Amino acid sequence: MSSIIYKDESYKIIGLCMEVHNNLGKGFLEVVYKDALEYEFEQANIPYEREKEYQVKYKEIILPHKFYADFVVFDKIILEVKGISNIGNEHIAQIINYLKISGCQLGLLVNFGKLSLEYKRIIV
């Protein structure tokens, strides 16, 4: 029987995402959901960084463009927030790339754009 990576932490994060979705519903811009999540993380005393910057190394150089993870929660889980009609392969590929660059093992892709909260756990 395999264990689920960061089970308790991801349960708390998804619970707060559900709280935000239950209160706001669908239809807002992603930044509104991020603002609400930031409030919820602070209220729950959950450590997070918003818009954490990562450099991309290519061979022996650092590329001029960086990427910004929506949130890094508990210093080990990338949380990517979407407000779209459907999660597509390009969104999954995006978070896989974020995980590779960041060194994190778990990413949560959360979509607030549907009637019910949609989320995926991505592990590298």
Contact 80/67 with Cβ under 8 angstroms? no
How many percent of the chain have pLDDT more than 70? 98
Task: Examine the pLDDT at 4 and tell me if it is beyond 80.
Answer: yes
Q: What is the pLDDT of residues 65-122, one digit of tens each?
A: 998 999 999 999 999 999 999 999 999 999 999 999 999 999 999 999 999 999 999 9
Enumerate domains of the chain plus CATH numbers. 7-123 (3.90.320.10)
Number of H-type helices and E-type strands within the chain? 3, 5
Q: What is the pLDDT of residues 48-66, one digit of tens each?
A: 999 999 999 999 999 999 9
Q: In which band, very low, low, confident or very high, does the pLDDT at 2 lie, cut at 50, 70 and 90? A: low
Task: Examine the pLDDT at 40 and tell me if it is beyond 70.
Answer: yes
The pairing of beta strand 48-58 with beta strand 61-73: antiparallel
Q: List Cα–Cα distances, 78 to 59, 61, 69, 99, in angstroms.
A: 24, 24, 7, 7
pLDDT at 3: 84
